[in-house]
Amino acid sequence: MRFALSEDQVLLQDSLNRALADLVPLERLRRLGDDGGPGEVSAIWTGLAELGLPGLMVPEDQGGLGLGMLEAALASEALGKAAAAAPFLGSAVLAPLALKMAGTEDQRRRWLPKLATGAVTAGVAISEPVAGARDGAGVTARDGRLTGTALFALNATGADLLLVGDTAGGVHLAQVAEAAEPMLSIDVTRRLTALTFKDTPAEPLLASGTLDRLRDAAWIILAADTLGAAQTMLDRAVAYAKERRQFGRTIGSFQAVKHLCAEMAAELEPARALVWYAAYAFDHAPEEASLIAAHAKAHTSEIGRFIARTATEVHGGIGITDLLGLHYWFKRIGQNRQLLGGPEKVREIAARLQGLAA
């Protein structure tokens, strides 16, 4: 049994890491907060499309690479490491997965080749049926039409295709919403939208279990993204500890700082194994895939927050400044923690999966 990545998987992640270092410099992250933010996201996605990333999970006969969830998780880890603003979750993972699982031949023919090239993007609005509705939100479906409000939709602004979950657990393909209002978010690299539907036409995906599979995939991708962001915060904290001098010595020589860095590394490494196994199980161990995906999402949410706080402490006061830019990863980890259920909610779902809660 092999417990490490294959040579091709290592090459995939290394290639993405190198490309993202050029595609997402700190100056580009700063511009995301300006009015040019959508343009920056488009530029990043165009660059990733040249590498074939949008077609990662699209079947080869539809113009994609035909790879699996583990490769998608490795790509997400690289994107999190760079804090890259890209519609990866919806366009490269959930939309191809939904179409492969439950789409008709016509739907696959219409959408998959365009998703593979990055010519179209997909937004995701499944927060209410996964994590529970709040403030009266939620979408109902009847006779091929949607009505209601979907909050915390990801990458939905300007998307060509929307994956919408209804309150009964169904999933639908919609091309438009009655209204799309930006929501306040701590993370400028991943915009959130409130979508309103008023008797809006949509195409239902009729295969059973579609929403649960999309939920599991989203949890894995968010966990991998947090893993990458936490790795960057750890790497930058260690590098800073080696350079910053205080009392005539580098602060990395102080025992307290050594312990902080060691604790971060000790928490992060087991999480990597958990996320990688969750991605493997999604494709190869369906009987435990949902439970492992829940554990991966909940655990990385917790250790991500610990590393974000600790890495900032290692930097001292400069850690919270825009000059350093560490806050982009800090906020990304914070938003990933709550998207599609915080750790408490996800563990509640895990308990239900094991028959331990009603």
The residue that leads in pLDDT, 2 or 189, is 189
**What is the pLDDT averaged over residues 222-251?**
94
**What is the pLDDT averaged over residues 244-270?**
91
CB 164 within 8 A of CB 172: yes
Domain range 122-205, its CATH number among 1.10.730.10, 2.40.110.10, 3.40.190.290, 3.30.360.10 = 2.40.110.10
Q: Is the pLDDT of residue 28 over 80?
A: yes
Q: Is the pLDDT of residue 35 over 60?
A: no
Q: Looking at residue 323, what is its pLDDT? A: 83
Residues 67, 283: Cα–Cα separation, whole Å: 10
CATH class label, 210-353: mainly alpha
The residue that leads in pLDDT, 38 or 306, is 306
> Reduced to 3 states, what is the DSSP secondary structure of residue 118?
coil
Question: Which pLDDT band holds residue 132 (cuts at 50, 70, 90)?
Answer: confident
Residue-wise pLDDT for 288-308, tens only, equals 999 999 999 999 999 999 999
Identify residue 134 by its one-letter amino acid code: R
Q: Is the pLDDT of residue 80 over 60?
A: yes
Question: Which pLDDT band holds residue 2 (cuts at 50, 70, 90)?
Answer: low
**What is the pLDDT averaged over residues 27-44?**
80
The residue that leads in pLDDT, 235 or 32, is 235
Q: Looking at residue 1, what is its pLDDT? A: 47
Characterize 128-139 residue by residue with b for buried, 16 or more Cβ atoms within 10 angstroms of its Cβ, and e for exposed: bbbbebeeebbb
Q: Looking at residue 36, what is its pLDDT? A: 54
Dihedral, CA atoms, 281, 66, 83, 223, nearest 10 degrees?
-10
Q: Looking at residue 27, what is its pLDDT? A: 87
Among 123, 98, 94, 95, residue whose Cα is nearest residue 183 = 123
**What is the overall mean pLDDT for the chain?**
93
**What is the pLDDT averaged over residues 323-346?**
95
Residues 122, 217: Cα–Cα separation, whole Å: 15
Question: Which pLDDT band holds residue 133 (cuts at 50, 70, 90)?
Answer: confident
| % of the chain beyond a pLDDT of 90 | 80
User: Structural domain boundaries of the chain?
Assistant: 7-117, 122-205, 210-353
Q: Is the pLDDT of residue 357 over 80?
A: no
**What is the pLDDT averaged over residues 170-183?**
94
Q: Is the pLDDT of residue 242 over 50?
A: yes
CB 178 within 8 A of CB 134: no
CB 329 within 8 A of CB 229: yes
Distances (CA, A) of 106 to 103, 112, 271: 8, 10, 40
Fold of 7-117: Butyryl-Coa Dehydrogenase, subunit A; domain 1 (1.10.540)
Distances (CA, A) of 9 to 5, 67, 72, 305, 316: 6, 10, 10, 27, 36
Q: Is the pLDDT of residue 321 over 90?
A: no
The residue that leads in pLDDT, 36 or 185, is 185
